[in-house]
Amino acid sequence: MPRSQESNVRPLLAKPADALTVGGAGICWMPMRRTLIQTLGAGGACLLLLAPLAPSLRAADGNVGDQIVLAIIVSRHGVRAPLQPNEALARYSARAWPEWEVKPAIQTPRGNQLVGYMGDYYRARFMRSGLLSGDPATDGPLVYIRADNDQRTIETGRIIGKALVPVGEPDVHPAPGGTFDPLFQPYRAHVGHPDLQLAEAAVLGRLGGDPQSIDAAFAPQLAELRGILWGGAPAQGPLAEGEHSRVSEGTKHYLVSISGPIQAAEVCVDGFILEYADGKADADVGWGKVDGKVLTDLLALHDFFFDLADRTYYLAQVNGSNLASHIVDTLEQAASGDPVPGAIGPSGEKIVVLAGHDSNLASLGGLLGMNWWIPGTQMNPTLPGSALVFELWRKGGEKDAYFVRTSYVSGTLEQLRTAAPLSLASPPALAPIFIPGCGGDAPNFDATLPDFIRQARKVIAPSFTEAEP
């Protein structure tokens, strides 16, 4: 499906600078570690502020003495309009789809608002843990934002950054427009040489070699979806009775081609999720037939498609190895305190925001064997604005003892529907994640950093990585 390359965000800095400049109403983030030199007024008075960098523990986030060092937020973008125009979606239903106030694939004003609420929560959470101080002059240089170069991902990175450091405009680092970013879209960026026949076999092998087993297993949900889309009339197109799901060799856009009822269901249910989360009138969410309960039922179709297309192990290696490799490099850099080749952002950052897509969350999940679940969803949701968060902690009293804590964070369907502000008192849903091969005990399933690195390097395929992020 085509991706929009529109962007209304201008990166302010191409590389780290050594001061944060303040003038008039505008403030630009410029990475600096220990001081702020602020020029005030025409008289040129200067104020020197010293800011301690070592965060302190907050008991709500870890054991006494433990210290958070870094948080990597791998976020899906916020609510957007469907990727396809209504003219293309017409083949899936008997009635016209609702109109959107923005063009296809563009993040909506409501989507911007919801992403801002997630950013507000992150700021409160990391201030509580001591990762952020709450002083923009201190915190600005410690936040690094990388985004895919779509409008919706750049806006998501910008808005999260603005919430984390609520002054001025953050420096967002996207790839050049008109290109595919190897970090977020490695297959389209031609990272490595995937075996398309092996990719097809990997998916078919999960289905007993028969894609029609999908249609049988999800017959109740498909019937429910047909009723919503076509009313009492016979369904047409890929959802017509007698049509079957198919798996075939991939194209230049997708590593494997999955078509038929399950692919049509993913497109339509995605539309319902977007309508519901965008706060559209009840009559415009599945033509008045999709409430929270129905949407949760239909998510089984949506999430299973992503399970096949992105979480299947070989596909996850192709599409997740590069991102996972650079996440590992970034964690190693934070633990060592020295620059590490392949790390995202310069040494000394405290929060790294990676604004991408649902496919990025699913690929990382499939690659590392991660599963998550929050109330009101099916397993492994990738809701708008949700994120996988990798936190690096230093164990109290042990100089070089680090551990990694991983979680899925998302507004619930109800929080998205009502545009509920998020805070420590009213947080989004959070699911701690156990990573096979390195995960520790409940409730947080912390993995020691050496174990996490060893397990990640075991599943990352070097042939699908690049040296630079």
Tens-place pLDDT, residues 153-191: 999 999 999 999 999 999 999 999 999 999 999 999 999
Average pLDDT over residues 274-278: 98
Alpha helices in 84-150 (DSSP H): 86-89, 109-129, 136-139
DSSP H or E run through 297: helix 292-306
> Exposure string (b/e) for 255-285, b if CB count within 10 Å is 16 or more?
bbbbebbbbbbbbbbbbbbbbbbbbbeeebb
Q: How would you class 401 by CB atoms within 10 Å of its CB: exposed for 0-12, middle for 13-18, buried for 19 or more?
A: middle
pLDDT digits (tens, 9 = 90+) for 231-241: 989 999 999 99
DSSP 10: -
Flag whether pLDDT at 44 surpasses 90: no
Residue 51: its pLDDT value, please? 36
Residue bearing the bigger pLDDT, 38 or 268: 268
User: For all residues of the chain together, what is the average pLDDT?
Assistant: 89
Residue 246: its pLDDT value, please? 98
Residue 252: its pLDDT value, please? 87
Residue bearing the bigger pLDDT, 201 or 49: 201
Residue 38: its pLDDT value, please? 34
The CA distances from residue 174 to 75, 185, 231, in Å, are 14, 12, 44
Residue 354: its pLDDT value, please? 98
Report percent pLDDT > 90 for the chain: 84
Average pLDDT over residues 34-40: 31
Whose CA is closest to 72, among 449, 389, 365, 332?
A: 389
Answering whether pTM is above 0.85, one says: yes
Residue bearing the bigger pLDDT, 59 or 358: 358
Tally DSSP H helices, then E strands, for the chain.
13, 14
Average pLDDT over residues 2-11: 35
- Both tokens of 388, joined, read 């996988």
Residue 69 neighbours by CB under 8 Å, 6+ apart: 55, 334, 335, 350, 392, 393, 394, 402
Residue 34: its pLDDT value, please? 30
Flag whether pLDDT at 5 surpasses 70: no
Residue 400: its pLDDT value, please? 81
Residue 25: its pLDDT value, please? 35
**Residue 448's beta-bridge partner residues?**
403
Residue 2: its pLDDT value, please? 37
Whose CA is closest to 60, among 129, 139, 140, 130?
A: 129
Residue 64: its pLDDT value, please? 80
pLDDT band at 62, cuts 50/70/90? low
Whose CA is closest to 460, among 308, 310, 354, 327?
A: 327
- Our measurement of the distance from residue 85's CA atom to the centroid of its chain's CA atoms, rounded to an integer in Å, reads 24
Residue 33: its pLDDT value, please? 34
DSSP H or E run through 177: none
- Both tokens of 404, joined, read 């990694």
Q: What is the largest CA-CA distance in the chain?
A: 79
pLDDT digits (tens, 9 = 90+) for 345-382: 999 999 999 999 999 999 999 999 999 999 999 999 99
Would you call 298 helix, strand, or coil by DSSP?
Answer: helix
Residue type, 349: E
Residue bearing the bigger pLDDT, 13 or 455: 455
Residue bearing the bigger pLDDT, 63 or 165: 165
Q: How many residues make up the chain in this entry?
A: 469
